[in-house]
Amino acid sequence: MRTFILLLFLVSSFSQYAQDIPTRWDELTASDWPLAMEKSNKTIILPIGVLEKHGPHAPMGSDLIHAREWAARVAKEEYAVVFPDYFYGQLNEAKHLPGTFSLPSKLTMELLEATCEELGRNGFEKIMIINGHGGNPPMLRYFVQNQMASQRDYAVYFYDPSTDPDFQKELNALRKTDPAGDMHAGELETSSLLYLRPELVQLEKAANESGADQKRLPRIPNVYTGIWWYASFPHHYAGEAEKASAELGKLVTEQKIASMVEALRAIKADKKTLELQQEFYEEVEELSREK
């Protein structure tokens, strides 16, 4: 009887340990690794942010903090390994300001490619990118599309949600500023920080600079230029952060986490992407041999 009870205790303890292994790569032990791979279904979250000015009131790492917090909360709901802080994004438009960490564009792409290759070498088959920086999506979409350029045994998934009309109505009902001008370190982003990391926000300084569009560039219809952001927001601040609230931040964060968890579960269960990716590579190889 005692032996049975001891065995039951050991099984229960192991089961509890299995549930409690860390999610962050840098906190896992080597003995945790096989279990983490199994529990995550070989899925890893790569949270990407940048280091840049966020008005006069919010921390330089706001985007990184968001991505880090989102990934941690998502992995708590649905287990996945989380890669440590990654802050090598597209940030050329902020190089005129102190505190900006901006690597050469070619190196930024090569570093992301090498990182994903190293994740694949470590056994991960599914890489979910969570992004916290508004300047990264065009680069990340291009990066993901470039995965078709050469064969690999992993797939990259970029979490890139579309607008939810119902949630947008709920969100707009709580907002105090015009969404059209709330683009960087304004009400929405600052509200999220007030909910996630309030001790890092110096809200009393939010009105020390103007976050209004300076409208310094003549409008050319149907044309895009890289200088547009600097022309409109040279202080790297777009919005009215002084009107931010933790209540709004909670609404936005909880909706985002729920959406990310749903995406992560679908990614972990997905078998078709890798299958079709392999089929594609084989057809490319076959075509090359025929020439």
- What dihedral do alpha carbons 69, 74, 80, 83 form, nearest 10°? -20
Say what the pTM is.
Answer: 0.92
On the question of pLDDT at 1 being above 70, the answer is: no
Q: Phi and psi at residue 233, in whole multiples of 5°?
A: -135, 70
Give residue-wise pLDDT tens across range 59-102.
Answer: 999 999 999 999 999 999 999 999 999 999 999 999 999 999 99
Give the model's confidence band at 155: pLDDT under 50 very low, under 70 low, under 90 confident, else very high. Answer: very high
3-class DSSP state of 115:
helix
pLDDT (0 to 100) of residue 289? 85
Cα(61)–Cα(46) distance, rounded to whole angstroms? Answer: 16
For 181-190, write each residue's pLDDT tens digit: 999 999 999 9
What CATH number has the domain spanning 23-267? Answer: 3.40.50.10310
Q: Which of 91, 14, 75, 54 is nearest to 203 (CA)?
A: 54
Q: Flag the least confident range among 17-26, 35-44, 276-285.
A: 17-26
